[in-house]
Chain A
């Protein structure tokens, strides 16, 4: 069975641009969560979606937004990119909203120049 898939794997953008990251959960999983991870730190929670509705939001500015589609795939959008947005963006899926447990995709490495 396919695991969580994320695209693209790497992305280079400049300050002020916008980016869209994509995630497809494990088949049968209805919950998708997005995390930002910078070097030397644990993942920081950005959003959780379950059944196309937002279930949780972390402490990130409004430049970050997300949505979930009827097939449970998800997109994370980041507007007005800043240098500090450079990080590994992780998508995790779980069978329900209780995150028991979460399984991660390979991530998208975003570099801002």
Chain B
């Protein structure tokens, strides 16, 4: 069964530091990944997507995909208290384009 796994956390990071969130996956075939941020009681909000091996940067966020090791990461630079949320990783299947979701990592940024 195809799976996406994330450490549930919480991951505690001091304000201004780099937060590193990781996601591992079992389906080698798919190369498309999405990172969503979900505040408590709210719906997921798209942060970034990455479709190829390597790094992709958008502002304070960098997504990294390592196909050989089957993991995808999200780095948040200059972490702010407003970044405190649960971060969901999703892999899009090549066969039917459906998303396989991790359970999310809870991130806490401490002032």
- Interface residues of chain A, those whose CB is within 8 Å of chain B, are 40-45, 48, 55-56, 58, 88, 90, 97-107
Q: How far is the CA of A101 from the CA of B101 in the complex (A)?
A: 14
A104-B43 in contact (CB<8A): yes
Q: How far is the CA of A45 from the CA of B101 in the complex (A)?
A: 9
A45-B98 in contact (CB<8A): yes
Note all chain B residues with C-beta closer than 8 A to A40: 8, 103
Note all chain A residues with C-beta closer than 8 A to B32: 100
Note all chain B residues with C-beta closer than 8 A to A90: 43-44
A106-B42 in contact (CB<8A): yes
The B contact surface, by secondary structure, is strand
A-B pair count, CB < 8 Å, reads 55
Q: How far is the CA of A87 from the CA of B49 in the complex (A)?
A: 26
Note all chain B residues with C-beta closer than 8 A to A42: 4, 88, 90, 101-104
User: A42-B90, A107-B42, A107-B43 provided; 18 other pairs, C-beta below 8 A?
Assistant: A40-B8, A42-B104, A43-B88, A56-B96, A56-B97, A58-B98, A90-B43, A97-B97, A98-B97, A99-B97, A100-B97, A101-B34, A101-B49, A102-B34, A102-B46, A102-B99, A104-B36, A105-B43
Q: How far is the CA of A104 from the CA of B102 in the complex (A)?
A: 16
- Interface residues of chain B, those whose CB is within 8 Å of chain A, are 4, 8, 32, 34, 36, 42-46, 49, 88, 90, 92, 96-99, 101-104
A41-B103 in contact (CB<8A): yes
Minimum distance in angstroms from A18 CB to a CB of chain B: 24
Ordered nearest first, which 10 A-B pairs have the shortest CB separation? A42-B101, A104-B43, A98-B97, A107-B43, A42-B103, A99-B97, A104-B44, A101-B49, A106-B43, A43-B101
